[in-house]
Amino acid sequence: MLILGIESSCDETAASVVENGRRVRSNRIASQVPLHQRYGGVVPEIASRAHLEQIVPIVEGALGEAGVSLVEIDAVAVTRGPGLIGCLLVGVEYAKALAATRGLPLIAVQHVAGHLYSPSIGREKDAWGQDVRRSADFEPYIGLAISGGHSSLVLVRGPLQYETLGETLDDAVGEAYDKIAKLIGLGYPGGPQVDEWAARGDSGAFHLPRPLLKKAGYDFSFSGLKTAFAREVEKLGGREYVERNERLTADLCASFQAACIDVLLGRAKKALKDYDLKRLAVVGGVACNKGLREALARLRDVDVAFPEPEFCTDNAAMIAGAAAPIFQAREFSDISLSATAQLELAAPPQSWQVVATT
């Protein structure tokens, strides 16, 4: 079974061909980072226009890299939401047109469901170390989905069987990284840069809060941490002063990163203990974070899956992969499918809830 996946929810135009929901035959991504860099964040209008320009070459590139033509494709999968509506529309309308003209089944995938599926895909091995040419021996795991738009702790009982345990009450962790990076004059996207600077700094230099860590439940909150960081920058003399001082930049980044890692790790460990599980999958753009990977690798008695970085940040392989169980359940969409800016993660797929349509 070959599924062509398309992803355009934010600032990456992506297409991929995945075999049997496991083996990535191609993974093409056109990043728009250079287009948004000078604005310090994603500009929705610029993003939608860039998706329009990129979608055809990216899909053709994915088919070419996989060495297949549309005739061999069994279904077209697309991210329906959540995301920026103008961006989602490009992918959804293109996928609908492709499916209709080629007579292919159309499959709608929720974006975070794609991220949570990403440990099961790979070029040779999946993120658990299993051969992707074989079907997966599924064992339940705790999924930590951390990106620029989401921070969720999810109990994964089976393929696409998701139960959200906790979510962020305000900013997503990647969003907090991007915002504090901006506060000290680091470029966009801030996450990877803060990660680099943090490796050179002293994580004990500034005492930043660990929001909600001691509270019951599994929710996150990052906005208080971001405000505390901003206060430290002000106390030090403001952005210009910090920008000129490499030691301060490194120490601030290291202290911020340590607070994030403590919170993410603390919540994940609590969920593993409460549900008596030994498997943890860390997915989404922030899962690329080196400090977090090192801290998680030190966990004893826990099997941690880190998808390859190309499957952590937004990509279409995770969408094509997550579409496989939906294909098997024959839960197809039709030409009336609409892009949806806010779409809850829910399971099974037929119970996806539409919260609001922009």
Footprint of ligand KG4 (CB under 6 A): 10, 147-149, 174-175, 177-178, 189-192, 195, 284-286, 288-289, 313-314
User: Residue 314 interacts with Zn ion (CB under 5 A)?
Assistant: yes
Interface characters, 129-148, with Zn ion (x: CB under 5 A): ------------------x-
In the complex with ligand KG4, the residue whose CB is nearer, 171 or 219, is 171
Report the b/e string of 273-302 with b at 16+ CB within 10 A: eeeebebbbbbbbbbbbebbbebbeeeeeb
4 binds, among ligand KG4, Zn ion, none (CB under 5 to 8 A by kind): none
In the complex with ligand KG4, the residue whose CB is nearer, 19 or 195, is 195
In the complex with Zn ion, the residue whose CB is nearer, 105 or 166, is 166
Phi, psi at 167, each rounded to 5°: -145, 170
How far apart are CB 69 and ligand KG4 at their closest, in Å? 29
152 binds, among Zn ion, ligand KG4, none (CB under 5 to 8 A by kind): none
For the chain, how far is it from start to end, CA to CA, in angstroms?
34
Residue type, 196: E
82 binds, among Zn ion, ligand KG4, none (CB under 5 to 8 A by kind): none
177 binds, among Zn ion, ligand KG4, none (CB under 5 to 8 A by kind): ligand KG4
How far apart are CB 201 and ligand KG4 at their closest, in Å? 14
In the complex with ligand KG4, the residue whose CB is nearer, 19 or 175, is 175
> Which stretch of DSSP H or E encloses residue 14?
strand 12-19
- Site residues for Zn ion, 146-185, by CB under 5 A, read 147
Alpha carbons 223 and 177: distance in angstroms, whole number: 11
User: Residue 12 interacts with Zn ion (CB under 5 A)?
Assistant: no
How far apart are CB 257 and ligand KG4 at their closest, in Å? 8
Alpha carbons 266 and 77: distance in angstroms, whole number: 35
Alpha carbons 171 and 149: distance in angstroms, whole number: 8
How far apart are CB 115 and Zn ion at their closest, in Å? 6
DSSP track, 156-214: EEETTEEEEEEEBSSS-HHHHHHHHHHHTT--SSHHHHHHHHHTTS-TTSS----TTTT
In the complex with Zn ion, the residue whose CB is nearer, 126 or 314, is 314
Phi, psi at 153, each rounded to 5°: -110, 125
Alpha carbons 180 and 172: distance in angstroms, whole number: 12
> Site size for Zn ion, by CB under 5 A?
2
In the complex with ligand KG4, the residue whose CB is nearer, 222 or 327, is 222
Q: At 240, is the secondary structure helix, strand, or coil?
A: helix
Alpha carbons 183 and 240: distance in angstroms, whole number: 10
How far apart are CB 79 and Zn ion at their closest, in Å? 9
In the complex with ligand KG4, the residue whose CB is nearer, 197 or 327, is 197
Binding site for Zn ion (CB under 5 A): 147, 314
